[in-house]
Amino acid sequence: MRIGVIGAGQVGAALARLFVEAGHQVGIANSRGPETLRWLVDELGELLHPVAAQEAAGYGDLVVVAVPVGRYDELPTGGVPGRTVIDTGNYYPQRDGHLPALDADRTTSSELLQARLPDARVVKAFNAIRAHHLVEYGRQSSAMWRYGIPVSGDDPTAKRRVFDLVEQVGFEPVDAGGLADGGRRHQPGSPVYGVDLPGDELAARLARPVRAAPAGRWPDGSPPPS
Ligand SMILES: NC(=O)c1ccc[n+]([C@@H]2O[C@H](COP(=O)([O-])OP(=O)(O)OC[C@H]3O[C@@H](n4cnc5c(N)ncnc54)[C@H](OP(=O)(O)O)[C@@H]3O)[C@@H](O)[C@H]2O)c1
């Protein structure tokens, strides 16, 4: 499969690594241009293709957004109509700048992304786990032991595709519901955020009531990602 990845930082590079290891072609972009991503080709090999953001948006009918939420309004709006877009984002006002609708919990960052990309089918996934754990645990997994990844979205077909991808890279997808309610269940401040658990335990935590989610720190008190 061909997968576009917009953002080549901690999460974008970690996911690109997992996708390449699963045999997929990856078109990946950052903000500074493909020539700055040769190092990643050196690491991951010929399945990794540095491209411009516009090209990553149309590289395949599955695209991952791995840029800070505060940069969503820079994302290319074109791309394959009806494509599945995976949102890995978490809102941190200290990094992203204050977005009043998110501060007031009137919406979620994934719904903001869906509004920016109306012809896409946004699914939130891979946001609640640290980037280096993605690589570490994806590699370590076996059919007997897999960490859970919460997945939320409104389109069942897109969600199914993301479930399949999550499984391919060594995790257990756990259905968190739709983009609005489900997205809140695995955003910063939620009971599952930054907590690495097998799928059944993650599902039990996802069922807990969600408090309003102040963007904060990881549950262990460490600072938020960059
Ligand atoms: N870090 C984690 O452990 C973690 C875990 C789960 C989810 N997340 C979430 O995932 C998102 C990305 O986090 P990160 O830690 O990967 O951030 P990061 O390391 O700072 O990387 C951000 C990437 O986005 C690129 N970018 C920014 N604006 C862009 C644009 N307009 N077009 C194309 N690329 C653009 C940057 O390009 P340049 O390099 O050229 O600046 C960089 O490659 C955030 O919402 C974060 O909260 C992070």
Spell out the per-residue pLDDT of the chain, length 226, in tens: 999 999 999 999 999 999 999 999 999 999 999 999 999 999 999 999 999 999 999 999 899 999 999 999 999 998 788 999 999 999 999 999 999 999 999 999 999 999 999 999 999 999 999 999 999 999 887 767 899 999 999 999 999 999 999 999 999 999 999 999 999 999 999 999 999 999 999 999 999 877 654 455 444 445 555 4
pTM: predicted TM-score of the whole model, two decimal places:
0.94
C-beta 6 within 6 A of ligand 1: yes
CA distance 81 to 211: 35
Q: Which pLDDT score is estimated for 4?
A: 98
C-beta 107 within 6 A of ligand 1: no
| Domains defined for the chain, CATH in brackets | 2-206 (3.40.50.720)
Q: How far is the CA of 81 from the centre of ligand 1 (A)?
A: 24
Which one of 5, 6, 10 would you pick to mutate in the ligand 1 pocket, going by the greatest count of ligand atoms within 8 A of its CB?
Answer: 10
Q: Which of 172, 166, 204 is nearest to 185 (CA)?
A: 204
CA distance 120 to 223: 32
Q: Which pLDDT score is estimated for 113?
A: 97
Cα dihedral sign, 148-149-150-156: negative
Q: Which pLDDT score is estimated for 224?
A: 55
C-beta 69 within 6 A of ligand 1: yes
Residues whose CB falls within 8 Å of the CB of residue 100, separated by 6 or more in sequence, listed in order: none
Residues whose CB falls within 8 Å of the CB of residue 163, separated by 6 or more in sequence, listed in order: 151, 173, 175
Q: Which of 141, 75, 149 is nearest to 109 (CA)?
A: 75
Q: Which protein residue has the closest C-alpha to ligand 1 atom 41? A: 31
Task: Give yes or no for a contact between 60 and 2, defined as CB atoms under 8 angstroms apart.
Answer: yes
Q: Which pLDDT score is estimated for 211?
A: 63
- According to DSSP, the β-strands at 148-153 and 121-124 are antiparallel
Which one of 5, 26, 30 would you pick to mutate in the ligand 1 pocket, going by the greatest count of ligand atoms within 8 A of its CB?
Answer: 30
